[in-house]
Amino acid sequence: MMDFLSQCRAIVGDAGVLDAEADMAPFLTDWRGRFTGKALAVLRPGSVEQVAALVRACAEHRVALVPQGGNTGLVLGSVPDASGAQVVLSLARLNRVRQIDPVNRTMTVDAGCILQQIQEAAAAEGCLFPLSLAAEGSCTIGGNLSTNAGGTAVLRYGNTRELCLGLEVVTPQGEIWSGLRGLRKDNTGYDLRDLFIGAEGTLGIITGAVLKLYPQPKASITALAALPSPAHAQQLLVLMQDHCGASLTGFELMSRFCLDLVARQFPQLPKPFAEPYAQYVLLELSSSESEAHAVGLLEHAIGAALERGVIQDAVVASSVAQSAGLWQLREHIPLAQAKAGKNIKHDISLPVSRIADFIAATGPRLEAAFPGCQLVCFGHLGDGNLHYNVAPPAGISNEDFLVNQDKVNRVVHDSVVAFGGSISAEHGIGALKRDELAHYKSPVELNMMRAIKAALDPLGIMNPGKIL
Amino acid sequence: MMDFLSQCRAIVGDAGVLDAEADMAPFLTDWRGRFTGKALAVLRPGSVEQVAALVRACAEHRVALVPQGGNTGLVLGSVPDASGAQVVLSLARLNRVRQIDPVNRTMTVDAGCILQQIQEAAAAEGCLFPLSLAAEGSCTIGGNLSTNAGGTAVLRYGNTRELCLGLEVVTPQGEIWSGLRGLRKDNTGYDLRDLFIGAEGTLGIITGAVLKLYPQPKASITALAALPSPAHAQQLLVLMQDHCGASLTGFELMSRFCLDLVARQFPQLPKPFAEPYAQYVLLELSSSESEAHAVGLLEHAIGAALERGVIQDAVVASSVAQSAGLWQLREHIPLAQAKAGKNIKHDISLPVSRIADFIAATGPRLEAAFPGCQLVCFGHLGDGNLHYNVAPPAGISNEDFLVNQDKVNRVVHDSVVAFGGSISAEHGIGALKRDELAHYKSPVELNMMRAIKAALDPLGIMNPGKIL
């Protein structure tokens, strides 16, 4: 294989090809530390043309490649397999903001730009790039696009898919497709953009994108509502949207178990209510007008919810610090889980109208199969997206419980599918959920996906073993 | 070919197969009356299963089929060619609203539902289905999806693509793909939904869809602003969005020439200003709160625009009737054009920031090539979408001018592409713009489209001659 690596070095220089164990190590283990692969080399191109030349070299030598951004994915989509025959192609050096157009409200960026860097560059022009998620300090937009990442602003602004107008892609043949269009309307043939978005690098390598920007809201305000059940949370969502329309920018469900866990693991965080409630909803309202408008709108809607018995109590943040404190409760749930030990995670989505029924039906099924197991159920209820995690019964070790992972997945995912939901809401499929995908998707859908994969990547060199 | 038609009759009954000239006629001529094709038969299935069985018969006999909804398309996408060898497959009998879920804010419909029927069914549940366009009384949602239709609400709610969560599709093999998911987040493999949306029936037949619904706004208010130039209209858009955010639901540019044309052809319509201005923008604001809120927000923004010299004058409608009158001015432009005679139409889009430069550059190029030609330039400026139509010079007949169509197209489309725009914003490609697509798209992009077409429809029976 020296021929291949020599060719790569001729393209990107010696510094652009890492093949020493120590140099490659950070690129080979997934973010959750669950799997470490092997690689022939890690390639670090510095331009789109170098990406294209490297892909041509891979095609010539039939070397499979794994595109990688910030390597913060949760489904083993951006790490190589154990064979040692694959190369990692890191987009990290492609990290320029190419252009910002505040009148068109678009921004053209390299795929390797860190999400936070993009948010900050937009803000510097008085604009908002709304994508926001826990890994924003280290994930890249290329990874966000390739996994169609979600996050906390989807309710108002959509997933990454809805925030992208155009793409630049290196095809599996090593050609460059320049689809960097900044257009709100463009009906000229098949929607290749959306085919590459969410394809997890299996159809080509995203090297650049035109992103949508929005006006910065003038003010945001946060509240925490207490409710007796998930069914009440569904009602609250309808009520809030009817009252507030697009001003409702956040709607996060958290069970009592979640907030109790946070309180145990992070006792310094605020405790908004003196007594516990069964469920909580974190609400965020944003106004394009003023803080007074946001406060008035929120208080009016909360008043209506209290009056109709949809919520039992609520606290409205009266300062930026208080807003941040309420969001910290939400953001500390995954951290509190990690401190408490490993659990079996599910990133699922459902029709919003079926969430309460799903929760009511699935808990007893898990309890019957795994008596005493503990449910950590929270998430972006406004998008129908739950993080439905199953922790060991008290007194059972993580190791003893995690052997049940496949069985737990089957119970949860069977229930998700029965309620019309999806087994991967915002994390993607990667290698982790590949078998689950094959289990649940219809043959018609799988066959169409395979036909597209074979048509665009006939050599099968683009991130093989992921998705399909 | 009797074998084939007998097979079709066995599937849908005699009444479902039209092959008499007179019966077929309404299905063979396009909406603008520019082309009349021939057909072996018109097939009218009454169920998804019948659609699938008909497609299997077509595949078996290698008969090409043209899916048709309301046949209101503008690019010859839904009429058969002149060979007489194709069949039209009408979706008109599949016209049930299958389900409305006001909590999930979704609606599941047959592809043959008329757009207005869908709007009304949503409104009856207190919800808004925002897609709105001139043909809404006769176009079908299947056609809207297959052409990714735009219309007047795109600024706030997006194109048809953004309003669809799931699809049911009959594949070119006559299988049924049940992708009727009502999920805001679903990252499980390739985005087949968006591949079929905008594919104009060349990859499969959309038979059903899950659509997004929104809360009904409590109030809408309309205004007409007068401006010295398109550049001022760009500035006004930025200002309005900064002030009003998502409450800005309409932003339509019209030149003086357009409104003069309307005034000549429809003298009974309102004349909002005593003196003429170079450009006009129709503004629409919607509020989820109240009419008072909408009025206050609009007046505040208009005040700011006047103060900064972005606009010269404005009238705000003070009643529903006055709002309707202002919208009529906009809606009567195409009708006034039709009364004044034929012209050469372009449905183009540009980055919003390039519209003024495009208009400034393109007019002189046309004037140089076709002295005295008249520009009817209006459209959805908020989406970067112009209807840029070229009418004959005074004293030149339509017939004499229309022979220049290809040359006019070349001047306009060359300019569009030079400014980073698209030659088809919201109407699609069909047969009409197929050669233009081949002329302007890069070989990389065309090759990917052809590979996908060949992979999904290897027999080439799905609406051949359209797009590719």
A127-131 long-range contacts (CB < 8 A, ≥24 apart) are A127/A100, A127/A102, A127/A213, A127/A214, A127/A215, A127/A216, A128/A213, A128/A214, A128/A215, A128/A216, A128/A217, A129/A163, A129/A211, A129/A212, A129/A213, A129/A214, A130/A156, A130/A157, A130/A163, A130/A214, A131/A157, A131/A160, A131/A163
Which residues on chain A are in Cβ contact (under 8 Å) with B427? 187
DSSP state of B213: -
Ranges of residues in chain B whose predicted pLDDT is under 50: none
Q: What are the two backbone dihedrals, phi and then psi, of residue A25, each rounded to the nearest 5 degrees?
A: -50, -45
Q: What's the confidence (pLDDT) of residue A2?
A: 60
Report CB contact under 8 Å: A385, B427.
Answer: no
- What angle, 0 to 180 degrees and rounded to 10, lies between the N-to-C axes of helices A320-340 and A256-265? 90
Residue type, A383: D
The architecture that CATH gives domain B2-90 is 2-Layer Sandwich (3.30)
pLDDT tens profile A437-456: 999 999 999 999 999 999 99
Kind plus residue range of the DSSP H or E element containing B384: none
Q: Across A368-412, where does the E strand assignment appear?
A: 374-380, 385-391
Using 50, 70 and 90 to split pLDDT, how confident is the model at A352?
very high
Q: Is B265 exposed, middle or buried (0-12, 13-18, 19+ CB in 10 A)?
A: middle
- Phi, psi dihedrals of residue A68, rounded to the nearest 5°: -140, 135
What is d(CA B148, CA B152) in angstroms, rounded to the nearest whole number? 13
Q: Is B444 close to A171, i.e. CB distance below 8 A?
A: yes
Residue A342: pLDDT band (50, 70, 90) is confident
Is residue A314 a contact partner of residue A306, using CB atoms and an 8 Å limit? yes
- Is B347-443 in the same CATH topology as B219-340? yes
Place of tokens 């208010």: B221
pLDDT digits (tens, 9 = 90+) for B334-393: 999 989 888 999 999 999 999 999 999 999 999 999 999 999 999 999 999 999 999 999
What is the structure's pLDDT at A445? 98
Q: Cβ A192–B445 below 8 Å, yes or no?
A: yes
Contacts A383 to B, Cβ<8 Å: 184-185
CB B265 within 8 A of CB B339: yes
Count CA within 13 A, CB hemisphere, residue B183.
Answer: 25
Q: Do B177 and A352 touch (CB under 8 A)?
A: no
Please tell me which residue of chain B has the smallest CA distance to A100: B353
Return the CATH number of the domain spanning residue range B97-215.
3.30.465.10
Please, what is the average pLDDT of chain A? Answer: 96
Domain A219-340: assigned CATH number:
3.30.70.2190
Q: Percent of chain A, pLDDT > 90?
A: 97
A101 vs B contacts (CB less than 8 Å) = 351, 353
B364 CB-contact burial (10 Å; exposed 0-12 / middle 13-18 / buried 19+): exposed
Q: Cβ separation of B242 and A350 shorter than 8 Å? A: no
Q: Is the confidence at residue A57, as pLDDT, over 60?
A: yes
Spatial separation of the C-alpha atoms in residues A132 and A116, rounded to whole Å: 8
- B351:A101 CB<8 A: yes
Closest partner residue to A198 among B191, B203, B288, by Cβ? B191
The pLDDT assigned to B341 comes to 87
The whole-angstrom separation of Cα A158 and Cα A395 is: 41
Structure confidence by residue, pLDDT tens digits, B170-204? 999 999 999 999 999 999 999 999 999 999 999 99
Region of residue B384 (phi > 0: left; psi between -120 and 50: alpha; otherwise: beta): left
**Distance in angstroms (rounded) separating the CA atoms of residues A305 and A238:** 10
Q: What is the DSSP letter of B352?
A: G
CA-only gyration radius of chain B, Å: 23
Q: Which tokens sit at B54?
A: 């008909």
Instruction: Tell me the C-alpha distance between B333 and B66, whole Å.
Output: 31
> CB–CB of A424 and B247 under 8 A?
no
Any residues with CB less than 8 A from the CB of B10 and at least 6 apart, and which?
none
In whole numbers, what is the pLDDT of chain B averaged over residues?
96
Q: Note the CATH architecture for domain A347-443.
A: 2-Layer Sandwich (3.30)
Q: How many Cβ atoms are within 10 Å of A268's Cβ, its own excluded?
A: 6
A412-439 per-position pLDDT tens digit? 999 999 999 999 999 999 999 999 999 9
How is residue A320 written in tokens? Answer: 């930026």
DSSP alpha helix (H) spans, A133-220: 141-146, 154-157, 192-196
DSSP B422: B
Nearest to A455 among B154, B191, B451 (CB): B451
Mutation site, B181, B187, B432, B445, interface A, largest A CB count within 10 A:
B187
- Please give the DSSP secondary-structure letter assigned to residue B27: G
Q: Which residues pair with B349 in a beta bridge?
A: B385, B422
- Domain locations in chain B as residue ranges: 2-90, 97-215, 219-340, 347-443
**Strand partners for B286:** B220
Task: Let me know: does A220 contact A249? Beta carbons within 8 Å.
Answer: yes
What are the percentages of helix, strand and coil residues in chain A, rounded to 5? 40, 20, 40
Q: How far is CA B346 from the centre of its chain?
A: 13
Q: CA–CA separation, A314 vs A280, rounded Å?
A: 9
- Check whether A1 has a pLDDT greater than 60: no
DSSP B138-187: T-BHHHHHHTT---TTHHHH--GGGGEEEEEEE-TTS-EEEE----S---
Which tokens go with B25?
A: 């006629």
- Over residues A233-261, the mean pLDDT reads 97
CB distance A54 to A45 below 8 Å: yes
Q: Do A288 and B352 touch (CB under 8 A)?
A: no
B186 to A215: CB separation less than 8 angstroms, yes or no: no
Structural contact between residues A302 and A285, judged by C-beta atoms closer than 8 angstroms: no
Instruction: Pull the structure tokens for residue B467.
Output: 């797009």
For the whole model, what pTM was predicted?
0.97
CA distances from A204 to A331, B27, B106, B311 (A): 33, 41, 33, 47
Instruction: Name the H helices within A382-427.
Output: 398-402, 405-418
d(CA A299, nearest CA chain B) in Å = 13
Spatial CA neighbour of B187 closest among A439, A453, A349? A349
> What does the block give as tokens for B76?
């010859």
> In the sheet that A176-179 helps form, which strands lie side by side, from edge to edge?
A97-101, A106-110, A205-212, A164-170, A176-179
**Gap between the Cα atoms of A24 and A89, Å rounded:** 11
Separation of alpha carbons B295 and B283, rounded Å: 12
The pLDDT of residue A341: 87
In the predicted structure, residue A188 carries a pLDDT above the cut 60: yes
Q: What is the pLDDT of residues A133-178, one digit of tens each?
A: 999 999 999 999 999 999 999 999 999 999 999 999 999 999 999 9
Give the residue from chain B lying closest to A212, CA to CA.
Answer: B351
Answer yes or no: is the ipTM higher than 0.85. yes
